[in-house]
Structure 1
């Protein structure tokens, strides 16, 4: 069974980057905040689940490849 998690950057500052994410590209209602210095993320709603972990890991992987926070993307497995 395939799994997709979509994410899109909605805000960026010197200390953090905020993304919306979810299983549907048109309904990405959840949010996560990535700490720019430590590259650690926190879900805004406090729920650390599969979708959050999948989005967070893919965002960090894309950052590692380009040294830039991605504007959008998806994780597929």
Structure 2
């Protein structure tokens, strides 16, 4: 079964980058925050503390893109 997640940056500070994400490019219903120093992510939406597959997929792709490019991406997607 295929899985897809879309994400886009909504804010960035010296310490954090905040993204919204979801299963369609017009359906960003969730949020996560990336800590720039540790490259760890935190759930920032109604499903607080719900670390599920979609959250992990977005978080892992964001870290992979950052590692590859050296900057936090403006937007993107992950498909598996």
- Tell me if TM exceeds 0.5: yes
2:61 corresponds, among 58, 62, 74, to 58
Once the 2 structures are TM-superposed, how far is the Cα of residue 6 of structure 1 from its aligned partner? 0.4
- For normalisation by structure 2, the TM-score amounts to 0.93
- For normalisation by structure 1, the TM-score amounts to 0.97
In the TM superposition, 1:38-77 aligns within 5 A as 38-44=38-44, 45-77=48-80
**Structure 1: gaps spanning 5 or more residues:** none
Once the 2 structures are TM-superposed, how far is the Cα of residue 29 of structure 1 from its aligned partner? 1.2
Once the 2 structures are TM-superposed, how far is the Cα of residue 32 of structure 1 from its aligned partner? 0.2
Structure 1 stretches of 4+ with a deviation exceeding 4 A read none
**Structure 2: gaps spanning 5 or more residues:** none
Once the 2 structures are TM-superposed, how far is the Cα of residue 24 of structure 1 from its aligned partner? 1.3
